[in-house]
Structure formats: structure tokens, C-alpha cells
Amino acid sequence: MIEPDDSDALSGRKAVKSEAAFRTISEVSVDLDVPQHVLRFWESKFSQIKPLKRGGGRRYYRPEDLALLKRIRDLLYKDGYTIRGVQKLLRDQARGHAVDAKVEPPGEPEVASPPSLFVMDESPVVDVTPTGDEEVVTEQTVRAVLEGLLQELVDLRSQLANARRTQSP
């Protein structure tokens, strides 16, 4: 007879993955406490996130992808960066600039996005994935994308106004 603690399957315990193992989007979602659709949205905003995709578009995240996602999550949710601010920070670091993650990039004040933008329901609305994936995106994800675009437009309008003021005699 097999004793219950002789096997993980019999004892009800899940096997723990190695730190070097690839993870699915659902595992990453649980690890980071971020909905799956937010992870997909971040993929569209941060070109550095490149999970391996298998048949049917199933994503597998490498350990370095997970580390980057944790950093993005902390910058957005804990440090109050905007999507655009994190993009700039990552771009600057890729160019070899040593930038402390806690310091705001000069010339671009960062404002925390309201948390309500990221409290999203899971009801499918419309498929808007440009890569041909057949994933369903929620209404809240579309809203977050549109609000990000609106913020970029507001920032551009502000930059134009500042440029006009500095050029006026």
C-alpha cells in the first residue's frame, strides 16, 4: 500500500516549478496578482515583453519575462509611473543610461493612474488583437488602451502649448 505522503498527487500538494521553468499566462497572472488581460495589454505597450508563443497563441513566459513584468507592475502600481513613463525608463536603460527605478525621469512628471482602471471584469466583449490571435479582450482593457491614448494626446497638447509660450516674443 502507498502511504499518502509518498506522492504529491496523493497528498493533494502541487509540485512547485523550478525558478528556471517557463510559466503560462495564468501562472504569471496569479504570481503577479494581475489579470491576464492586463498582461496582454502590457505586451502591446512594452516591446521588451516577448513570451514564447506556441500553437493556438498560448504564451509561455521565461524567467526574465517574469522579472520584467514584476518590475513593470511595481513601477506602475507602487511607484506611480504612467505607461509612458515606464516605456521611457525602459528605453533609457536599454540605451545604457543608468536610471534608478525610484527616480522620475527628468522633464516628465509621473502621475499614478487611478486604481479603478485596473479593477476589471472578465466578461468578453470584442476581439481586437492585431496579431491574429483569437483572444478575447475585455471592455475594460479597451478602455485602458483608449485612456492611455487620451493621456498621450493631453501630454502632446501640453508640450505644444509650452513650445508656443517659449517661442512667443
CA distance 77 to 89: 15
Quote the pLDDT of residue 116.
42
pLDDT at residue 111 tops 60: no
Q: Within a 10 A sphere around the Cβ of 41, how many other Cβ atoms?
A: 23
Is the pLDDT higher at 97 or at 103? 97
Going by C-alpha positions, the residue among 78, 90, 92 that lies closest to residue 42 is 90
Question: Which range among 40-49, 72-81, 146-155 shows the weakest confidence by mean pLDDT?
Answer: 146-155
Q: Within a 10 A sphere around the Cβ of 18, how many other Cβ atoms?
A: 8
pLDDT at residue 95 tops 80: yes
Averaged pLDDT for residues 58-85: 92
pLDDT at residue 167 tops 90: no
CA distance 80 to 74: 8
Is the pLDDT higher at 168 or at 79? 79
CA distance 112 to 163: 25
Confidence of residue 15 (pLDDT cuts 50, 70, 90): low
Structural Rg of the chain based on CA atoms: 20
pTM: 0.49
Average pLDDT value over all residues in the chain: 74
Quote the pLDDT of residue 145.
78
CA distance 149 to 76: 16
pLDDT at residue 101 tops 60: no
Quote the pLDDT of residue 32.
93
pLDDT at residue 38 tops 50: yes
DSSP-derived letter for residue 132 is: S
CATH topology of domain 19-167: Multidrug-efflux Transporter Regulator; Chain: A; Domain 2 (1.10.1660)
Quote the pLDDT of residue 75.
92
Confidence of residue 28 (pLDDT cuts 50, 70, 90): very high
Quote the pLDDT of residue 106.
47
